[in-house]
Amino acid sequence: MTDPNFKKGLDALDQGPARAAGETVESPPPAGDLPPHPTVDALRDTFGEAILRHEVVSGDEHIVYIGPERNLEILRWLRDNPGERYDMLRDVTAIDYGNGAFLQLVYELWSIPNRRQLRIKIELPLDRLEVDSVYYVWRASDWLERETFDMFGIVFRGHPDLRRILMPYNYAEGHPLRKDFPLRGRFTRAEQTRRSLSLKTEDHYSPYEVELAKRLGQPLPSVMADDGGPGVPESGMPGIGAQ
Amino acid sequence: MGLNPDEPDETRRDAHVAEMKESGGLPVRTAEAQGGIFSGAPGFLTTRLDTVVNWARENSLWPMPFGTACCAIEMMATAASRYDLARFGMERMSFSPRQADLLICAGRVSYKMAPVLRRIWEQMPQPKWSISMGACASSGGVFDVYSMVQGIDTIIPVDVYVPGCPPRPEGLMYGILMIQEKIRRASPTADWVADESLIEGLPTLPAQHLDLVTSPFGNSTQQNRSSGLVSSGAIVRPNDRQP
Amino acid sequence: MAQTKKRTVVYNVTRNPQLADGGGLVHAPIVPVEGEVASDFDEDIHGTHMLINIGPQHPATHGVLRLVLELDGETVIKCIPHIGYLHSSFEKLGEYRTWNQIVPLTDRMDYLAPLIYNCAYAMAVEKMMGIEVTERCKVLRVILMEMDRIFSHLLWLGTTAIDLGAFTVFLYTFQERERVYNLHEAYTGARITTSATRIGGMMADLPAGWIEQLNHFVKTFPRTLDEVETLLTNNAIWVGRTQDVGVISGQDAVNFGLTGANLRASGVDYDVRKDRPYYDYETYDFDVPVGEHGDIYDRYLCRMEEMRQSVRLLQQAIARLPGGPVNVDDPRVILPPKTAAMNDMESMIHHFKVVMEGVRAPVGESWFSVESSKGELAMYVVSDGGSKPVRWRVRGPSFINIAALPHMIEGSLLSDVIAVNASLDIVLGEIDR
**Residue ranges of the domains in chain A?**
30-160
- Whether residues B142 and B23 fall in one domain: no
C85 CB neighbours in chain B (<8 A) are: 68, 110, 112-113, 116
Determine the Cα–Cα distance for residues C184 and C167; give it in Å rounded to an integer.
26
Interface test with C, best of A116, A123, A134, A216 (most C CBs within 10 A): A216
- Ramachandran angles phi, psi of A27, nearest 5°: -80, 150
The reply to whether A1 touches chain C by the CB within 8 Å rule is: yes
Does residue B102 carry a pLDDT above 70? yes
**How many other CB atoms are there within 10 angstroms of residue C339's CB atom?**
9
Domain range enclosing B15: 9-47
Q: Which residue of B has its CA nearest to C361?
A: B238
Determine the Cα–Cα distance for residues A202 and A210; give it in Å rounded to an integer.
7
Residue A208 contacts residue C38 (beta carbons within 8 Å): yes
Q: Which residue of B has its CA nearest to A223?
A: B116
Residue C246 contacts residue C423 (beta carbons within 8 Å): yes
* High-pLDDT (> 70) share of chain B, %: 60
**How many other CB atoms are there within 10 angstroms of residue C254's CB atom?**
29
Comparing A139-143, C61-65, C94-98, the range with the smallest average pLDDT is C61-65
Percentages helix, strand, coil for chain A (3-state, rounded to 5) are 30, 20, 50
Whether A216 sits inside 8 A of C46 (CB atoms) is: yes
Closest approach of B201 to chain C, Cα-based (Å): 23
Chain A, window 133-192: residues with a beta carbon less than 8 angstroms from a chain C beta carbon? 136-140, 142-144, 147, 151, 160-161, 164-168, 176-177, 181, 183
User: H or E stretch including C337?
Assistant: none
In a domain, B201, yes or no: no
- Confidence at C382, pLDDT banded by 50, 70, 90: very high
Distances (CA, A) of C349 to A5, A11, A14, C204, C353: 13, 11, 12, 21, 6
Does residue B83 carry a pLDDT above 80? yes
From B110, B239, B240, residue closest to C88, measured CB to CB: B110
B135-167 pLDDT per residue, tens: 989 888 888 888 888 888 888 888 899 998 889
Q: What pLDDT score was predicted for residue B229?
A: 35
- Whether residues B65 and B109 fall in one domain: yes
In a domain, C40, yes or no: no
Q: Is C324 helix (H, G, I), strand (E, B) or coil?
A: coil
Q: What pLDDT score was predicted for residue B243?
A: 39
Number of domains in chain B: 2
Closest approach of B107 to chain A, Cα-based (Å): 18
In a domain, B120, yes or no: yes
Q: Is A171 helix (H, G, I), strand (E, B) or coil?
A: coil
Whether A224 sits inside 8 A of B120 (CB atoms) is: yes
In a domain, B89, yes or no: yes
**CATH at residue C62:** 1.10.645.10
Q: What is the 3-state secondary structure (H, E, C) of C42-104?
A: CCCCCCCEEEEEECCCCHHHCCCCEEEEEEECCEEEEEEEECCCCCCCHHHHHCCCCCHHHHH
- Please give the CATH architecture assigned to the domain spanning A30-160: 2-Layer Sandwich (3.30)
A218-239 pLDDT per residue, tens: 778 777 654 443 333 333 223 2
Number of helices (H), then strands (E), belonging to chain C: the values are 17, 10
In a domain, B2, yes or no: no
From B68, B80, B81, residue closest to C86, measured CB to CB: B68
- Whether residues B38 and B155 fall in one domain: no
Chain A, window 70-99: residues with a beta carbon less than 8 angstroms from a chain C beta carbon? 79-80, 85, 87-91, 93, 95-98
From A184, A229, A242, residue closest to B125, measured CB to CB: A242
Residue C225 contacts residue C157 (beta carbons within 8 Å): no
Q: What pLDDT score was predicted for residue C123?
A: 92
Determine the Cα–Cα distance for residues A103 and A122; give it in Å rounded to an integer.
8
A7 CB neighbours in chain C (<8 A) are: 346
Does residue B186 carry a pLDDT above 90? no
Interface test with B, best of A197, A198, A224 (most B CBs within 10 A): A197
By DSSP bridging, strand A103-111 and strand A116-124 are antiparallel
The reply to whether C120 touches chain B by the CB within 8 Å rule is: no
From A187, A198, A229, residue closest to B204, measured CB to CB: A198
Determine the Cα–Cα distance for residues B203 and B218; give it in Å rounded to an integer.
22
Whether A180 sits inside 8 A of B230 (CB atoms) is: no
Q: What pLDDT score was predicted for residue C314?
A: 93
From A186, A194, A231, residue closest to B230, measured CB to CB: A186
B53 CB neighbours in chain A (<8 A) are: 240
In a domain, B198, yes or no: no
Which of A106, A111, A167 has the alpha carbon at shortest distance from A131? A106
Does residue C216 carry a pLDDT above 90? yes
- Confidence at C168, pLDDT banded by 50, 70, 90: confident
Does residue B233 carry a pLDDT above 80? no
From C39, C368, C390, residue closest to A208, measured CB to CB: C39
Q: What is the 3-state secondary structure (H, E, C) of A26-47?
A: CCCCCHHHCCCCHHHHHHHHHH
**CATH at residue B106:** 3.40.50.12280
Average confidence score pLDDT of chain C: 84
In a domain, B199, yes or no: no
- Confidence at B116, pLDDT banded by 50, 70, 90: confident
* Packing angle, helices C135-163 and C114-129, rounded to 10: 140
Kindly provide the b/e burial profile for residues C399-411, where b requires at least 16 CB atoms within 10 angstroms of the residue's own CB.
bbbbbbbbbbbee
The reply to whether B148 touches chain C by the CB within 8 Å rule is: yes
- Whether residues B75 and B21 fall in one domain: no
Q: Which residue of A has its CA nearest to C71?
A: A216
- Whether residues B78 and B167 fall in one domain: yes
- Whether residues B185 and B65 fall in one domain: yes
Chains A & C: contacts with CB separation below 8 Å: 227
Q: What pLDDT score was predicted for residue C48?
A: 73
Whether C82 sits inside 8 A of A225 (CB atoms) is: no
Determine the Cα–Cα distance for residues C257 and A110; give it in Å rounded to an integer.
10
- Whether residues B64 and B175 fall in one domain: yes
Closest approach of B94 to chain A, Cα-based (Å): 13
Distances (CA, A) of C249 to B157, C121, C253, C288, C430: 49, 32, 6, 19, 25
Determine the Cα–Cα distance for residues C172 and C191; give it in Å rounded to an integer.
18
Which of A242, C426, A70, C160 has the alpha carbon at shortest distance from B192? A242
- Of B38 and C5, more confident: B38
Instruction: Please name the residues in contact with C353: beta carbons below 8 A apart, sequence gap of 6 or more.
Output: A10, A13
- Whether residues B41 and B81 fall in one domain: no
The subunits that touch chain C, with at least 3 C-beta pairs less than 8 Å apart, are A, B
Does residue A44 carry a pLDDT above 60? yes
Closest approach of C398 to chain A, Cα-based (Å): 12
Q: Which residue of A has its CA nearest to B53?
A: A240
Does residue A92 carry a pLDDT above 90? yes
Does residue C139 carry a pLDDT above 80? yes
- Whether residues B33 and B143 fall in one domain: no
* High-pLDDT (> 90) share of chain C, %: 27
Distances (CA, A) of B212 to B141, B198, B224: 22, 10, 12
B238 CB neighbours in chain C (<8 A) are: 384-388
Domain range enclosing C224: 10-35+46-432
Number of domains in chain C: 1
Q: Which residue of C has its CA nearest to B76?
A: C174
Chain A, window 188-227: residues with a beta carbon less than 8 angstroms from a chain C beta carbon? 204-206, 208-209, 211-213, 215-218, 220-225
The answer, yes or no, to whether the previous bond of B163 is cis (omega within 30 of 0) is no
C364 CB neighbours in chain B (<8 A) are: none
C323-363 pLDDT per residue, tens: 888 888 888 888 888 888 888 888 888 888 888 888 888 88
E-state strands within C362-408:
364-371, 376-383, 391-395
In a domain, B79, yes or no: yes
C-alpha B224 chain-centroid distance: 27
B42-82 pLDDT per residue, tens: 777 777 888 888 888 888 888 888 888 888 888 888 888 88
Q: Is C137 helix (H, G, I), strand (E, B) or coil?
A: helix
